[in-house]
């Protein structure tokens, strides 16, 4: 659902860019509370994994494909504020390096694919896990539903922006019905991928899944023939179960294989937004991408003639760049949290 330049006019794109910048600023502050010494190194990996899986377009209807948006996945794994930052990092690198998603439309893409998907998915996820029994199955159900709903929500958000600042004259009802129909189907694929990924992490390291913290059922003891809750041993903080290095290595390896090898077999059909835009005439004023001359444009390496090798190398480079950029961002956020905590403790002792 990467929106190119020319779909939304400049005033609305600029206003959305300001809103997206504000959301990123708020997320930078909020991520300090979400990240700790175990999860901070994994946040960059989550961004890289989302980059890799977004290369895997899957068919959803005749001549139409879809791909992961990733907002639900990021929010549930590392937290909603960190999730917004993950998607922003991915979209920025895709726009600058791979000419995917317009640069003037970067704010539109962050808002639609990042802020809206994270807010809708995580809000619904939290409501469901509170209403359902405390179990891994409930987490799976909540994850599936949250991811599914987040995709048509993003499609509706794009339609709203198009209604305000669309550059072509297409009836809004036509756009909304077309976008909603195809993106419900894409949402099913998003839900399956998200549920399987979250489930895989929970199976090996449930303490690393932000959305699953505090969901374990309390320990019961039998006293006088009745079951009573045992006294909690600590606060709600999850107990570390070992080094995160094996998870990090496995996640990076999976990302490299997906982007470098599996992506060659992805559907070549246009994604949901591209198909709707072409069929309904939304793309009549689309503009050439400012980074169209990038050596990695369109997910291929310039001067490498073999399509399989070119796409694979581009995917590997993209995963490497994303994990490096994401890790750098989250390392700085984590350091600022640590520095702020240290300063507060020093001030308390001095007083």
User: pLDDT for 237-280, tens place per residue?
Assistant: 444 457 888 999 999 999 999 999 999 999 999 999 999 999 99
- 227 inside domain: no
C-alpha dihedral (151, 273, 300, 296), degrees to nearest 10? -90
Number of domains in the chain: 1
- 248 inside domain: no
Structure confidence at residue 341 (pLDDT):
54
Average pLDDT, the chain: 90
Confidence of residue 324 (pLDDT cuts 50, 70, 90): very high
- 191 inside domain: yes
The label of the residue with tokens 């480079």 reads 317
Going by C-alpha positions, the residue among 127, 32, 47, 154 that lies closest to residue 94 is 47
Output helix, strand, coil percentages for the chain, rounded to the nearest 5: 70, 5, 25
Structure confidence at residue 233 (pLDDT):
41
- 282 inside domain: yes
Element (H or E) spanning 339, and its range? helix 307-350
- Residue ranges of the alpha helices (H) in 117-135? 117-131
Structure confidence at residue 228 (pLDDT):
54
Structure confidence at residue 222 (pLDDT):
56
pTM given for the model: 0.89
Confidence of residue 61 (pLDDT cuts 50, 70, 90): confident
- 124 inside domain: yes
Q: Return the structure tokens found at 4.
A: 């190119």
List, for residues 174-200, the tens digit of each pLDDT value. 999 999 999 999 999 999 999 999 999
Structure confidence at residue 38 (pLDDT):
78
Residues in the chain: 351
List, for residues 271-309, the tens digit of each pLDDT value. 999 999 999 999 999 999 999 999 999 999 999 999 999
Domain that holds residue 330: 10-215+261-343
- 181 inside domain: yes
Give 235 or 54, the one with higher predicted confidence: 54
- 243 inside domain: no
CATH of the domain at 328: 1.10.1760.20
Structure confidence at residue 224 (pLDDT):
61
- 4 inside domain: no
d(CA 208, CA 197): 13
Confirm if 291 and 20 have CB atoms less than 8 A apart.
no
């Amino acid at each position: 659902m990467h929106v190119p330049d020319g779909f939304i006019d400049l005033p609305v794109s600029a206003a959305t860019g300001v809103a997206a910048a504000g959301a990123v600023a708020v997320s930078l502050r909020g991520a300090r509370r979400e990240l700790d010494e175990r999860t901070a190194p994994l946040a960059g990996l989550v961004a890289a994994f989302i980059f890799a899986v977004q290369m895997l377009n899957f068919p959803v209807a005749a001549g139409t494909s879809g791909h992961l948006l990733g907002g639900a996945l990021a929010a549930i794994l590392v937290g909603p504020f960190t999730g917004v930052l993950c998607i922003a990092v991915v979209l920025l690198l895709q726009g600058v390096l791979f000419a995917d998603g317009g640069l003037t439309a970067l704010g539109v893409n962050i808002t639609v694919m990042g802020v809206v998907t994270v807010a809708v998915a995580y809000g619904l996820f939290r409501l469901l896990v509170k209403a359902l029994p405390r179990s891994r199955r409930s987490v799976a159900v909540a994850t599936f539903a949250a991811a599914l709903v987040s995709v048509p929500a993003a499609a509706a958000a794009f339609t709203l922006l198009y209604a305000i600042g669309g550059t072509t004259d297409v009836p809004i009802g036509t756009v909304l019905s077309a976008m909603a129909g195809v993106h419900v189907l894409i949402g099913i694929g998003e839900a399956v991928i998200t549920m399987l990924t979250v489930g895989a992490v929970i199976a090996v390291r449930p303490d690393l899944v932000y959305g699953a913290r505090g969901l374990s059922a309390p320990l019961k003891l039998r006293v006088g023939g009745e079951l009573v809750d045992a006294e909690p041993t600590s606060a709600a903080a999850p107990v570390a179960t070992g080094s995160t290095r094996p998870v990090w290595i496995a996640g990076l390896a999976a990302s490299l294989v997906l982007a470098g090898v599996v992506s060659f077999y992805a559907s070549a059909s246009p994604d949901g937004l591209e198909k709707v835009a072409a069929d309904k005439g939304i793309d009549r004023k689309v503009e050439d991408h400012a980074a169209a001359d990038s050596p990695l444009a369109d997910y291929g390496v310039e001067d490498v003639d073999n399509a399989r090798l070119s796409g694979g190398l581009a995917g590997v480079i993209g995963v490497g760049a994303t994990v490096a950029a994401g890790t750098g961002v989250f390392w700085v956020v984590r350091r600022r949290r640590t520095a702020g905590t240290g300063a507060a403790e020093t001030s308390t002792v001095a007083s």
